């Protein structure tokens, strides 16, 4: 979303307190793909797209607008103010756990007391009590990106991406559906667990033997928005692809087809069209490489 741009400068611009910049901030937040993410995942993804300024007033203004937007697209039992306070507690906890100058790190018990103290001001926060252990452990193991432009390297890698966005992907062995962030670039379809991840979970090279087609809506769990990438010639062979497992090793994929589900008919058609065009270009290059060149005298 912000590939090729300096995240620090983006943050400074979004943090300016005037009418025009606040409108830009609102548009920037509205464009964030945070549907169906939990609040910590959504905040992580949002903060990854720019470097948030250090002034508490600016942080408050930005996070307050983000919390309101989150509730618009993911209605919760929390008020906008409660979500704002929860997000602020994430940032506070993240700083405490990962700032080298903080010697005594906040324990879970201390963090829980902080959040429960907020319940006195926002009673709806009581609804997150059971989720606090998850939030604490996640932030302890996976810090938020608050003060680095290093992540721009990944954005630059996919700066020429044909398309990117969320889709559901059906598993190979277990036919469960999981939400993944897809990037179509360099004649490959990359997919990530989160849009902020630095390394893909899997890579599907779009070879000359592949094709794409819409699935029969009556047979699919997710209906008319499902399509598949398949072997158009030798259908008994698995599609050449690789997947990174939870232990960090890389395995060769065993999909005979890759079933994907977009968020709408328009998105499905756009994905299918762009994937098909790349396959056609790869096929053209492949045929050209096999065709003997006539020598001109």
Give one DSSP letter per residue of 103-130, joined into a string: -SPPPHHHHHHHHHHHTTT-GGGGGGGG
Q: Give the per-residue pLDDT at 151.
A: 44
H or E stretch including 186?
Answer: none
Structure tokens at 60: 């408050």
Q: Give the per-residue pLDDT at 286.
A: 60
Q: What is the pLDDT along the chain (297 residues), one digit of tens a residue?
A: 555 567 888 888 888 888 888 888 998 898 888 888 999 999 999 998 888 887 777 888 999 999 999 999 999 999 999 999 999 999 999 988 988 878 889 999 999 999 999 998 899 999 999 999 999 999 999 998 776 554 444 444 454 678 999 999 998 777 789 999 999 987 789 898 887 777 788 888 887 789 999 998 777 666 779 999 998 876 556 787 777 666 665 666 667 899 999 999 999 999 999 999 999 888 776 665 555 554 444
CA distance 70 to 57: 20
Q: What is the CATH number of domain 7-141?
A: 1.10.1000.11
Structure tokens at 55: 């002034």
Q: Give the per-residue pLDDT at 52.
A: 86
Q: Give the per-residue pLDDT at 83.
A: 95
Q: How far is CA 274 from CA 2, 121, 157, 231, in A?
A: 21, 50, 19, 17
Would you kindly state where each structural domain of the chain is located, as residue ranges?
7-141, 160-290
Q: Give the per-residue pLDDT at 155.
A: 45
* Rg of the chain over all Cα atoms, to the nearest angstrom: 23
Q: Give the per-residue pLDDT at 80.
A: 94
Q: What is the pairing mode between strands 177-185 and 226-231?
A: unpaired
Fold assignment, 160-290:
PH-domain like (2.30.29)
Give the number of other Cβ atoms within 10 Å of residue 287's Cβ.
10
Give 12's contacts (C-beta < 8 A, 6+ positions apart).
53
């Amino acid at each position: 979303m912000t590939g090729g741009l300096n995240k620090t400068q983006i943050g400074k611009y979004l943090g300016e307190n005037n009418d025009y910049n606040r409108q830009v901030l609102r548009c920037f937040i509205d464009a964030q793909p945070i549907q169906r993410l939990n609040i910590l995942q959504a905040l992580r993804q949002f903060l990854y797209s720019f470097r948030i300024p250090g002034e508490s007033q600016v942080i408050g203004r930005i996070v307050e607008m983000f919390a309101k937007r989150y509730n618009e697209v993911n209605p919760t039992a929390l008020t906008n103010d409660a979500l704002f306070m929860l997000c602020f507690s994430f940032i506070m906890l993240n700083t405490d756990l990962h700032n080298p100058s903080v010697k005594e790190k906040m324990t879970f018990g201390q963090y829980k007391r902080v959040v429960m103290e907020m319940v006195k001001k926002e009673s709806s926060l009581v609804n997150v009590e059971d989720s606090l252990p998850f939030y604490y452990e996640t932030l302890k193991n996976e810090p938020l990106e608050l003060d680095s432009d290093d992540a721009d390297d990944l954005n630059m890698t996919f700066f020429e991406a044909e398309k990117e966005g969320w889709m559901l992907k059906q598993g190979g062995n277990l036919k469960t559906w999981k939400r993944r962030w897809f990037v179509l670039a360099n004649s490959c379809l990359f997919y990530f667990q989160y849009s902020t991840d630095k390394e893909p979970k899997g890579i599907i090279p779009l070879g000359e033997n592949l094709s794409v087609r819409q699935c029969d809506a009556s047979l699919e769990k997710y209906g008319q928005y499902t399509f598949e990438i398949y072997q158009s010639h030798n259908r008994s062979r698995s599609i050449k692809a690789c997947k990174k497992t939870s232990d960090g090793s890389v395995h060769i994929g065993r999909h005979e087809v890759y079933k994907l589900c977009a968020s709408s008919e328009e998105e499905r058609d756009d994905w299918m069209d762009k994937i098909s065009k790349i396959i056609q270009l790869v096929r053209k290059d492949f045929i050209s490489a096999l065709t003997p060149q006539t020598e001109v005298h």
